[in-house]
Amino acid sequence: MKEIWVINGPNLNMLGIREPLIYGHETLKDLEDKLVKNKNVKLKFLQSNHEGTLIDWLQEAYIKKIDGIIFNPAAYTHTSIAIADAVRAISPLPVIEVHLSKIDEREDYRKVSYVKEYCYKQIFGKGLAVYQEALDLLLLL
């Protein structure tokens, strides 16, 4: 059975409350409930508002030899060289970068992803469905 970690960055604990016109009304718990329905995979859900914690989890996933990561670095996508370096360091562990909103249609600074080039794939703009798409892809690898 594959083990996949779902790592979420800053402010994603506020899903359902934070800017629902952009991020929707569903919560992080709703996401977890949807993904857990797949019984052919062991999922671990993590969320932090702290950059260093996210880096520690990425490195831990590599050391523990898990099978893949679904990663929403949130605002750190556009600001953190440290997180980009962490994703690069754990290659070839497949990391799929996800974002709920259409980052390519938002503010200019959101169009830049420092982690994208080190990820297996980037999926965005489909709400919570990006997580299921990423999970389906990781299960095929």
Which of these is catalytic: 23, 62, 114, 118?
23
Write down the residue that tokens 């990820």 correspond to: 119
pTM: 0.95
**Residues in contact with 21: Cβ distance below 8 Å, sequence separation at least 6, in sequence order:** none
**Residues in contact with 63: Cβ distance below 8 Å, sequence separation at least 6, in sequence order:** none
Q: How high is the mean pLDDT of the chain?
A: 94
Which of these is catalytic: 76, 99, 114, 120?
99
Are the beta carbons of 102 and 71 closer than 8 angstroms? no
In the residue annotation, 99 being an active-site residue is answered as yes
In the residue annotation, 78 being an active-site residue is answered as no
Weakest mean pLDDT among 33-37, 48-52, 121-125, 136-140? 33-37
Residue 122 has what pLDDT?
Answer: 98
Instruction: Note the pLDDT tens digit of each residue in 84-125.
Output: 999 999 999 999 999 999 988 888 888 899 999 999 999 999
Residues 40 and 38: their CA atoms lie apart, in Å, by 6
| pLDDT tops 90 at residue 43 | yes
Q: Which residues of 87-113 are buried (b: 16+ CB within 10 A; e: fewer)?
A: beebeebbbbbbbbbebeeeeeebeeb
